[in-house]
Amino acid sequence: MAGKDDEDISDGSLADWITDRVLRGWIALCLALPLGMRLRLMGWLVSRVVAPIAGYRARAEANLAHVWPDMPAAERRALARRVADNAGRTMIENYDVDGLRDRMRDATVTGDGLPEIEAARAEGKPILFVTGHYGNFEAPRAALVARGWQIGGLYRPMSNPFFNDHYARNMHALSGPVFEQGRRGTMGLLRHIQQGGAGVLLFDLYSGKGVPIDFLGRPAPTLTSAAEIALRTGALMVPFFGIRQPDGIRFEAVFEAPVPHGDPVEMMREATRRLEARVIADPAQWFWIHRRWKPERQERRQRKRAAASTAP
């Protein structure tokens, strides 16, 4: 579910190979089940087995405590389980590319940005969709693809190279072009958008190269790449969200009004506020399992900068 943070993928170990085979087998088994059963099973497995063992649940609880320190511990635990359940459902949904696209064909599609993206598409103008790890972030893209769009994007490679092999192929299967995160991939996406294409970027992962932007009341280093690409290409920068419905199966795809062009940092602040509003509305849908803030690392870097500024 999470790619390796700021490091290259290794050649892989025997443990990586074994993990990959187990995961492939489990994915194949789940995909053979009816949709509702598949989603319930994957949600249960990740929330009750994988998340506690892999440390995802503890990380989610730590993030919740960082942002909302007054939240009771029991509430944090319950919320962390719901977060992991959504993550498990999302993972198996995104491995059923055809199924997700077909499900989203008749999904509810709303938002103030719909008229503007339809007009831009008709005129051949570029569009950059931005979102975070909320609900199922591939659901709005699937809704558009089901309606005839082609939408490119970037993906963060998985730390397990064996798993990454089929994960990357799956990312390409929904719509393209899709590029691996990095300088080369970013340039590829930039060229695609410059030519009047549409693309997607997720902006809510920690980056040591990012600008501190408050997210849920705490500074979170955030890349300004999305805003810079939108400014360079003249693309509409449109936040979208795939909101999981109470039945745990259906989605509403919401396309918000474009973020006005201006200073890149201010554009990312606005995009962050849009995501923040969604998280506050339903915290269980955001991937608290990611290391979004890394407060200890931020403090170390601040101390180093302060020491460097006072050095003779």
Q: What is the pLDDT of residue 19?
A: 78
Query: Does 18 have pLDDT greater than 60?
Result: yes
pLDDT confidence bin for 264, thresholds 50/70/90:
very high
Give the gyration radius of the chain's Cα atoms: 19
pLDDT confidence bin for 297, thresholds 50/70/90:
confident
If residue 281 lies in a helix (H) or strand (E), which one and from where to where?
helix 264-281
Q: Which residue has the higher pLDDT, 124 or 181?
A: 124
Work out the mean pLDDT of the chain and round it to a whole number: 91
Query: Does 6 have pLDDT greater than 50?
Result: no
Q: What is the pLDDT of residue 311?
A: 63
Q: In Å, what is the CA distance from 274 to each residue of 48, 100, 227, 267?
A: 31, 25, 14, 11
3-class secondary-structure state, position 238: strand
d(CA 311, CA 154): 40
Q: Encode pLDDT of 52-104 as tens digits.
A: 999 999 999 999 999 999 999 999 999 999 999 999 999 999 999 999 999 99
Q: Which residue has the higher pLDDT, 158 or 8?
A: 158
Q: What is the pLDDT of residue 10?
A: 54
Residues 220, 206: contact at Cβ < 8 Å? yes
Instruction: Determine the average pLDDT of the residues in 218-222.
Output: 97
Instruction: Determine the average pLDDT of the residues in 217-235.
Output: 96
At 198, list the tokens.
């549409």
d(CA 248, CA 184): 37
Give the relative orientation of helices 97-105 and 161-174 as an angle to the nearest 10 degrees.
Answer: 30
Give the relative orientation of helices 139-146 and 97-105 as an angle to the nearest 10 degrees.
Answer: 70
Q: Encode pLDDT of 155-210 as tens digits.
A: 878 778 888 887 778 777 887 788 888 888 888 999 999 999 999 999 999 999 99
Instruction: Determine the average pLDDT of the residues in 131-156.
Output: 94
pLDDT confidence bin for 9, thresholds 50/70/90:
very low
d(CA 104, CA 93): 11
Query: Does 2 have pLDDT greater than 50?
Result: no
Q: What is the pLDDT of residue 1?
A: 40
Q: What is the pLDDT of residue 160?
A: 81
Percent of the chain with pLDDT over 90: 73
Strand partners, 116: none
Instruction: Determine the average pLDDT of the residues in 19-23.
Output: 83
Query: Does 133 have pLDDT greater than 70?
Result: yes
Q: Encode pLDDT of 245-256 as tens digits.
A: 999 999 999 999
d(CA 178, CA 200): 9
pLDDT confidence bin for 7, thresholds 50/70/90:
very low
3-class secondary-structure state, position 178: strand
Q: What is the pLDDT of residue 5?
A: 42
Residues 145, 101: contact at Cβ < 8 Å? yes
Determine the length of the chain: 312
Instruction: Determine the average pLDDT of the residues in 270-284.
Output: 98
Q: What is the residue type of 118?
A: E
Q: Give the closest residue to 98 by CA, choosing from 137, 145, 151, 131.
A: 145
Q: Is 48 exposed, middle or buried (0-12, 13-18, 19+ CB in 10 A)?
A: middle
What are the residue ranges of helices labelled H in 56-180? 56-67, 73-94, 97-105, 114-123, 139-146, 161-174
Q: Which residue has the higher pLDDT, 44 or 21?
A: 44
d(CA 160, CA 54): 14
Backbone φ, ψ for residue 263 (5° rounding): -65, 130
d(CA 55, CA 78): 15
Q: Encode pLDDT of 68-79 as tens digits.
A: 999 999 999 999
